[in-house]
Structure 1
Amino acid sequence: MLDRTYERLLEREVDGAPSHVAVIQDGNRRYADERGKDASDGHRAGAETTEQVLDWCADVGVEELTLYTFSTENFDRPPEENERLFALLDEKLREFAEAERVHDREVSIRAIGETDQLPEHLRDAVEYAETRTSGYDQLRLNIALAYGGRAELLGAARDAARAVEEGDLAPHEIGADEIDRRLYEGPTRDVDLIIRTGGDERTSNFLPWHANGNEAAVFFCTPYWPAFAKKDFLRAIRTYESREESWRRTRARRALALVRAVGSAELDEASAIVDRFREYLPRRELERVDRDEGESATAD
């Protein structure tokens, strides 16, 4: 009852959801180990959490969800463990492709990463899920499989270098848009919020182009992924909102400093920023800028 009361409080506090949430689902194996079970049992419990998170994202208005499901480094795990995980992923992808919640929510499924390294049966399951949900656009679910952020960036850079060598691209034409176009086909927008479960405070080479370049907010929490609850998800959303409010306040104060330093008549754009973010400035600062702008208008 206490948890549900806390959830309701958080739901009232959440005002605007991030467009793109990325999740590092850490702790499946430790969750199983603490319960004396096999790693595959932890992965299966984690898959159940994933299904719930889809609903939570849809409820608060998240438009894109990216899950770090299997990294390139995970290939170093014992083969028998990976085989069980691949079998589970195969099963869950096919279940997701037929699940009512996926079709009711109009979820589009897409795998990102070096998927050619995956077993054939899993590649077939990926293709089936992508094809089955290709007509949807309400919520995009990206599943990072055989994914590594550094490998993604290296691949884009090498692809651009080959284009230059073959005469299809001039060096001065290589910009952010050109690199973005050569990344894995998957995320359609920059990441606003990264969530990592399991207690570790690092982002582990996950979506560096889409997250770091956008200065995404990061929420670390201690529950293992199978134990990740709605209250944890809402706390993450609240962290994002607090960061966004802080960013707006900082931008407004910078614009205000420019107005004072140069004069509002010469910095219309800065004045417009101050007006846009008035609600984030303390009353004393607002009174001062209004007084300064009034004096400037009188002088003109």
Structure 2
Amino acid sequence: MSVHLPQHTDAPLVTPARTAKSSDGSSKTVWQLADGNQVESLSFTLGDPGPGADAIATPVQNSRGHVVCVSSQAGCNVACTFCATGLQPMRRNLTAEEIVAQVRQTRLIEERDEPTRVIFAGMGEPLLNLDEVLRAVAMLEADSGVSHISLSTMGVLPALDRLTDETSSVDLFLSLHATTDEVRTRLIPLNKANPIAKILEAGERFARTHGRLVDVSYLLFNGVNDTDADADRLIGLLDPQYFRVQLLLWNDVPGLPFTRVEDGVIRQFRDRLIAGGLSTYVMPSKARDIEGGCGQMLTEAAKEHRIKRSNMSMLPLI
């Protein structure tokens, strides 16, 4: 039986232990939990990138406004080979109250008046803490300061089907990152039990049920998943009636065996997907200079054996 921390206590459920400000305006906060564990969240604003911005960023829609990227677990046991969070131990699931507190405290600290878009894409795999995530979604839906909720997942069955059945307000981002099960399993060991065909089937069911597209996140790695053949396989895998593609650039994590693709490569990959009929956009990296970008969140020292495991798993490919 899970035990929930009370919603109202003498001490805050999360308190800011450290903050960092990026040159792009993003803010990263390390939150101290009542039991001593720590998690991170990122606050940033979507809008017109302005002159001199990354020319490869081509959003599929003109999203605007304040965003908070929240954590749902302290640590992560999915062990993706490209992610800093997976280099530290999994400590525990967060309660719904701790998840929601990241949003409310951020809005309070930053004196935000405009509504906030919340995305579950920080530390942890949301579908491995689904009960508390669903409770958090319900609390956020009732919060007048929250305008929109999204969830990013590697794909966990049958939790993904349960998400489809139990909430209608959440937009789904399905992290694929490869076009064959061999490559995806090396990037995401969870793929062994949740192969590409199965999670895309579940993603299509989500799209049909809720009448909106699922965003397939595809993180490009130099020499791993960035070829024309990969793009063509992705076109074959995704039905444009149900999916669109969000291309991401890898954010450096010291010690891991990956390099960021050149801008020309991502342009070519994007253009090939669009020519193949897939709505595609590039999501510019946020907070790279403060280690707050996708895959960079790390509140404990990286474990050397986990770095070695990442290098060994990718050794035949790079």
Report the TM-score when normalising by structure 1. Answer: 0.34
The higher relative CO (CA closer than 8 Å, separation ≥ 6) is in: 1
Name the one with the larger strand percent. 2
Name the one with the larger helix percent. 1
Report the TM-score when normalising by structure 2. Answer: 0.32
The structure with the larger Rg is 1
